[in-house]
């Protein structure tokens, strides 16, 4: 659920997390900006998963309603917001470092307001105001509608907290302000919260109970995006397979397979992706739906976390190695061209060497196209923190992580090399990082392909690209049919 670059290993990711969040801005001014504007600007930086990035777009929309306009220039901001992540200790450290910098700005420009949003706000609540003296607003993921009130209070010098979690809030009626967008792909949140209790995970505490969003509002958001030129939507939830929405009018229940089909029917040229699937919940019905629609991308992020059944039990993942392998086999059987990726935690409480080796072997067996890999970071208040000692020494965690990363790199290279000579339908996202003479885009399997431009093509177009070369990170190709 992070960056989509297949080179991104857990180690690199940890570095990235400390280096930067992503700055959101909108290239064009708001359409109604002039009449609605209060002359003030907000700046928002986001950390963590796609859900957080998606939430920042909801926050931007809420703020624009009360006249604030987005800016990417910190020095222009009247309101500085940071949407935070608590998933690992490093993620929280990064945010604290950023807050030090915002403190300096605030001292130089009194009157600038600083707000902390998201999972860390939810976890630390009012402690934040005690610990970080210059923070004005602390607001949790379910309380964003209250942001204008808290901002108004902050303008009067009041420091405010709202970290109430909700059982209903889905922000279904709020049309997200697409920020920092390539105009081609967008996220759509389909549910919030999580009812699983993976013992290592802080998300159920920071995001509250699981709830699903009205399917019709999801479809109309997808339709609207398509009408505005977008060609790819990613349906977001911590556990999309447990999507469950009951129509209050006729009591009919919509599950994830049905929702996928509804979104796929918006237009054959609108690609549909989703994240994250939970191995215990992904059904054959979903797999058959994927197989039936060309525009549902043949890519599943199916985090295994560990390849060993005993560790999985301590993690409270509620599946074992055999169950997971059966699900992987079902995917490859029903959708032979599907790519699978994973999240993996090295060095969880009590993990033995042979248990770790089963994780390494799983990477190879499942043939992941890529994985996000992390070493275990104990989170206060979680089941694991209460129940199991964090007893794998740091050097062992790091060594095991490196072994998993090495195996994944080999498997990714093998996976990519197997694509050389094949031709894929690629959705063009924009210029490649290295050259404006090249485009980058993804195939259905979510692999980035870089290829020389042709004049008549532009971002948002599809092209047929033949793969001519591969590294463990990227495919290189040439257009075979525009
Ligand atoms: N809902 C998703 C995961 C969301 S968190 C799922 O169930 O797969 C993203 C990833 O962060 C997790 O898959 C896990 O690999 C990692 N993660 C979560 N808590 C962690 C912790 N305490 N230490 C290290 N990694 C963790
Ligand atoms: Fe965390 Fe597990 Fe929920 Fe994923 S499914 S968010 S890992 S508790
Ligand atoms: Fe996402 Fe981090 Fe929260 S991964 S749900 S932003 S703890």
Number of domains into which the chain is organized:
4
Do 58 and 192 lie in a common domain?
Answer: no
- Last residue of some domain: 101, 128, 162? 162
- Round to whole Å and give the CA distance between 339 and 87: 26
- Round to whole Å and give the CA distance between 379 and 382: 6
Confidence of residue 141 (pLDDT cuts 50, 70, 90): very high
Does residue 167 belong to any structural domain of this protein?
no
Q: Is 52 in the pocket of ligand 3 (CB under 6 A)?
A: yes
Does residue 462 belong to any structural domain of this protein?
yes
Confidence of residue 50 (pLDDT cuts 50, 70, 90): very high
Do 15 and 151 lie in a common domain?
Answer: yes
pLDDT over 90 (residue 463): yes
Does residue 398 belong to any structural domain of this protein?
yes
Q: Is 334 exposed, middle or buried (0-12, 13-18, 19+ CB in 10 A)?
A: middle
Do 39 and 140 lie in a common domain?
Answer: yes
What are the angstrom distances between the C-alpha of 405 and each of 349, 410, 453? 20, 9, 33
CATH number at 413 reads 3.30.750.200
Pocket test for ligand 2, best of 2, 87, 91, 196 (most atoms within 8 A of CB): 196
Do 279 and 304 lie in a common domain?
Answer: no
CB 85 within 8 A of CB 47: yes
Does residue 169 belong to any structural domain of this protein?
no
CB 463 within 8 A of CB 428: yes
CATH number at 95 reads 3.40.50.12160
Distance of CA 322 to the CA centre of its chain: 27
Question: Could you tell me which residues are beta bridge partners of residue 305?
Answer: 344
Do 137 and 230 lie in a common domain?
Answer: no
Pocket test for ligand 3, best of 17, 49, 89 (most atoms within 8 A of CB): 49
Neighbours of 126 (CB within 10 A): 13
Do 445 and 388 lie in a common domain?
Answer: no
Ligand 1: atom nearest CA of 201 is 19
Do 136 and 204 lie in a common domain?
Answer: no
Tokens read off for 2 = 């992070």
Does residue 62 belong to any structural domain of this protein?
yes
Do 383 and 406 lie in a common domain?
Answer: yes
Does residue 172 belong to any structural domain of this protein?
no
CB 401 within 8 A of CB 373: yes
Which stretch of 128-137, 273-282, 367-376, 462-471 has the lowest confidence by average pLDDT?
128-137
Closest ligand, as measured to the CA of 318: 2
Do 317 and 463 lie in a common domain?
Answer: no
- The mean predicted confidence, pLDDT, of the chain is 92
What are the angstrom distances between the C-alpha of 399 and each of 195, 251, 342? 32, 52, 19
Do 130 and 269 lie in a common domain?
Answer: no
- What residues flank ligand 2, with Cβ below 6 Å? 194, 196, 198, 201, 203-204, 238-239, 278
Does residue 52 belong to any structural domain of this protein?
yes
pLDDT over 90 (residue 481): no
Mapped onto helix, strand or coil, the DSSP state of residue 462 is strand
What is the average pLDDT across 203-220?
Answer: 97
pLDDT over 50 (residue 194): yes
What is the average pLDDT across 272-281?
Answer: 97
- Round to whole Å and give the CA distance between 63 and 193: 23
Pocket test for ligand 1, best of 50, 119, 201 (most atoms within 8 A of CB): 201
In angstroms, what is the C-alpha Rg of the chain? 22
- Round to whole Å and give the CA distance between 476 and 441: 11
Does residue 168 belong to any structural domain of this protein?
no
What is the average pLDDT across 154-178?
Answer: 96
Do 321 and 303 lie in a common domain?
Answer: yes
CATH number at 460 reads 2.40.50.140
Strands (E), 174-252: 185-189, 191-192, 211-212, 232-236, 244-246
CB 327 within 8 A of CB 279: yes
- Last residue of some domain: 271, 296, 321? 296
What's the N-to-C CA distance of the chain in angstroms?
Answer: 31
Do 337 and 279 lie in a common domain?
Answer: no
Domain that holds residue 136: 2-162
């Amino acid at each position: 659920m992070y960056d989509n670059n297949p080179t991104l290993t857990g180690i690199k990711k940890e570095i990235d997390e400390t280096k930067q969040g992503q700055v959101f801005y909108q290239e064009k001014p708001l359409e109604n900006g002039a009449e609605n504007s209060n002359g003030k600007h907000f700046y928002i930086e986001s950390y963590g998963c796609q859900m957080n990035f998606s939430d920042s777009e909801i926050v931007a929309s809420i703020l624009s309603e009360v006249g604030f306009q987005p800016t990417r220039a910190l020095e222009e901001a009247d309101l500085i917001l940071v949407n935070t992540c608590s998933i690992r200790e490093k993620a929280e450290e990064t945010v604290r470092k950023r807050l030090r910098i915002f403190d300096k700005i605030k001292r130089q420009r009194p009157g600038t307001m600083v707000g902390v949003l998201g999972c860390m706000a939810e976890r630390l609540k009012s402690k934040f105001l005690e610990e970080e003296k210059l923070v004005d607003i602390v607001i949790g993921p379910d309380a964003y509608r209250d942001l204008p009130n808290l901002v108004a209070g902050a303008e009067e010098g009041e420091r405010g907290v709202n970290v109430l979690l909700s059982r209903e809030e889905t922000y279904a009626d709020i049309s997200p302000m697409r920020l920092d967008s390539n105009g081609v792909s967008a996220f759509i949140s389909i549910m919030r919260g999580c009812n699983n209790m993976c013992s290592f995970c802080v998300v159920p505490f920071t995001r509250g109970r699981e709830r699903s969003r009205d399917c019709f509002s999801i479809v109309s958001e997808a339709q609207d995006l398509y009408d505005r030129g977008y060609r790819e939507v990613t349906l977001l939830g911590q556990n999309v397979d447990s999507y469950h929405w009951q129509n209050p009018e006729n009591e009919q229940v919509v599950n994830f397979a049905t929702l996928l089909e509804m979104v796929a029917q918006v237009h054959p040229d609108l690609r549909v992706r989703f994240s994250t699937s939970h191995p215990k919940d992904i059904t054959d019905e979903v797999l058959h739906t994927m197989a039936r629609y060309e525009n549902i991308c043949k890519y599943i992020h199916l985090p295994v976390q560990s390849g060993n059944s005993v560790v999985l039990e301590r993690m409270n993942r509620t599946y074992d190695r055999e169950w997971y392998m059966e699900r992987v086999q079902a995917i490859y059987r029903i959708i032979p061209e599907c790519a699978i990726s994973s999240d993996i935690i090295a060095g969880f409480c009590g993990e033995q060497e042979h248990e770790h080796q089963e994780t390494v072997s799983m990477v190879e067996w499942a043939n992941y196209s890529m994985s996000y890999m992390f070493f275990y970071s104990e989170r206060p208040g979680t089941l694991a923190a209460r129940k199991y000692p964090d007893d794998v020494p740091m050097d062992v965690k790091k060594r095991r992580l490196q072994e998993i990363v090495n195996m994944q790199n080999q498997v990714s290279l093998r996976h990519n090399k197997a694509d050389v000579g094949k031709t894929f339908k690629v959705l063009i996202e924009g210029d490649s990082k290295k050259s404006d003479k090249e485009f980058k885009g993804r195939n259905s399997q979510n692999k980035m392909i870089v290829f020389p431009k042709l004049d008549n093509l532009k971002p948002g177009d599809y092209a047929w690209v033949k793969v001519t070369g591969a590294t463990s990170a990227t495919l290189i190709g040439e257009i075979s049919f525009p």
